[in-house]
Structure 1
C-alpha cells in the first residue's frame, strides 16, 4: 500500500472502527510571560481578528507573538513618556518643589502615551 502525503511527512493514523483518523496535535506552547499589553492585544485579537487569533493558536506561536507585542508596546510606552517629559520640561526639581503638580502632569503624560500605544500597537 502506498503512503499518503500525510504519512510521508511523518503523520500517522489511528483506527476508530472502520475508519482511519489522522492523529493531529497542536505544537506545545512556549511558556513566555505576557504582560498587560500582550493581554490587551490578545483580547483585541479574540474579539476583532478571529482568523489571526486562530492561526496563531493552531501553529503554536501565540505565546511568542504576544510576548513580542508586549515587549514592543512597553518599550514604546517608556520612550514616549521620556520624550514627553523632556518636551514639557518635567524634571526631578519640579518633583521636589511641587509634588502635586508633578504627579498631575505625569499622570497626563502616561494617559497620552497609553492612548498612543493602543492606537499604534495594540489595536492594529
Structure 2
C-alpha cells in the first residue's frame, strides 16, 4: 500500500467511526518565562494576528517567540528609562531632597517608556 506524505514523515491515522483522521499533535516546546510585555504581545496576536498566532502555536515556536519579544521589550524599556532620566536630570540627589517629586517624575517616565515600547515592539 502506498504511504501518504503524512505517513512518510512519521504521522499516523486513527479511526473514529466511519472516518480515518490524522493524529495531530503540537511539537513539545521548552517552557520559558514570559512577563508583562510577552503576555501583552500574546493578547495582541490572538486578537489581531490570528494567522501568525496559529502558525507559531502549531509549529511549537510560540513560547520561544514570546520570550524573545519579552526580552527585547524589557531591554528597550530599561534603556528608555535611563535615557529619559538623564535627559530630565532625575538623580538620586533629587530623590533624597524631594521624594514625592522624584516618584511622580519617575512614574511619568515609566508610563512614557511603556507607551513607546508598546508602539515599537508589542503592537508592531
- Report the TM range for the smaller structure's normalisation: over 0.9
Residue number in structure 1 paired with 2:123: 123
More displaced 10-residue stretch of structure 1: 22-31 or 89-98: 22-31
Cα deviation 1:56-77 (Å, max 9, x = unaligned)? 1111111111111111111100
Partner Cα distance (1:18, 1:112) in 2? 59
Partner Cα distance (2:30, 2:90) in 1? 41
CA-CA distance at 1:53 after TM superposition: 1.0
Consecutive unaligned residues in structure 1, runs of 5 or more: none
TM-score computed with the length of structure 1 as normaliser = 0.92
Residue number in structure 2 paired with 1:77: 77
TM-score computed with the length of structure 2 as normaliser = 0.92
Residue number in structure 2 paired with 1:43: 43
Partner Cα distance (2:59, 2:102) in 1? 47
Query: Pairwise CA RMSD of aligned residues?
Result: 1.3
SS of alignment partner, residue 82 of structure 2: helix
Residue number in structure 2 paired with 1:31: 31
Residue number in structure 1 paired with 2:2: 2
